[in-house]
Amino acid sequence: MHENLVLDPERIPRHVAIIMDGNGRWAKQRNLPRIMGHKAGTESLKNIVKIAGELKLEVLTLYAFSTENWKRPSLEVQGLMTLLKSYLKSELQKMLDNTVSLRCIGEIEMLPTDVQKVLSEVMQETARNAEDKSGLILNLALSYGGRSEIVRAARIMAEKCVSGQFDPKDFSEKLLAAHLYTAGLPDPDLLIRTGGESRLSNFLLWQLSYAELYITETMWPDFNTERFFEALKEFQSRERRFGQTSQQLQAE
């Protein structure tokens, strides 16, 4: 099926993060209400989760709702929350069958209580899948903002200093990373943004510091298996130097 896009099994990224953008424009191009774009977007989401599991990715982090998205018209926000809830309910069995474990990052307490309830049920039910190290961690960013995540980590660390758990001298990159929502997860190797915008929109500001960036004009509802393979293929063609020279890497 993807004979011209065969991936190197040795270089599958451990963690892929995706900014799922372009649902609204996809709908507008078809004279549909924006919410229909979001609905079509959930179909893409289901497919990409399935492929990510088949490719044995460790983590797939999806930006589903930002702290800034609360500023959207309340009907759109409500529609998104309803879609999220029905997505979680309808996918639970599939997650259990495919050893997917659900995690989430963001200000979960800001979400409507019915959504929070379904979310924690699905996380609880799928938690045992996390013991199977070969299973995918599906990490949903909900009411997520990168700056507020860092501020929150700093606050928790300051509180721990005040209570004597550790000292400011102990502060390190590792310690800060351990206080982010993403504690315990590897940093993303690849960031994909659909919808063509060249910005981070407050996503994983700390964690993306050395991710490969891949921006595609494809709108999220059109981001199919083939487009995903194209992104992964492009990732595999990049040389990740982490500050070193090409020569140094080749000598290793």
The correct pick among 197, 213, 217, 249 for binding ligand IPE (CB under 6 A) is 197
What residues between 167 and 196 interact with ligand IPE by CB under 6 A?
Answer: 195
Q: Does 40 bind ligand IPE (CB under 6 A)?
A: no
Binding Mg ion (rule: CB under 5 A), the pick from 21, 58, 149, 212 is 21
Residue 64 is classified by DSSP as E
CB 74 within 8 A of CB 115: no
Distance CA 84, CA 119 (A): 9
Q: In Å, what is the CA distance from 44 to each residue of 74, 178, 221, 248?
A: 24, 31, 6, 40
Pull the structure tokens for residue 172.
């390190």
SS3 (DSSP) at 180 = coil
Query: Out of 13, 15, 16, 24, which residue is the one contacting ligand IPE (CB under 6 A)?
Result: 24
Q: Which is nearer to ligand IPE, 20 or 48 (CB)?
A: 20
**d(Cα 41, Cα 62) in Å, to the nearest integer?**
12
Beta strands per DSSP E along 20-100: 59-66
Q: Which does 214 bind (CB under 5 to 8 A by kind): Mg ion, ligand IPE, none?
A: none
If the CB atoms of residues 132 and 197 are measured against ligand IPE, the closer one turns out to be 197
137 binds, among Mg ion, ligand IPE, none (CB under 5 to 8 A by kind): none
Instruction: List phi, psi (to 5°) of 212.
Output: -80, 135
Q: Which residues are catalytic?
A: 21, 69
Single residue of 199, 238, 240, 241 touching ligand IPE by CB under 6 A: 199
Q: CB–CB of 183/156 below 8 Å?
A: no
Q: How far is the CB of 19 from ligand IPE (least distance, A)?
A: 5
Binding residues for ligand IPE, rule: CB under 6 A, are 19-25, 63-66, 68-69, 80, 195, 197, 199, 201
Binding residues for Mg ion, rule: CB under 5 A, are 21
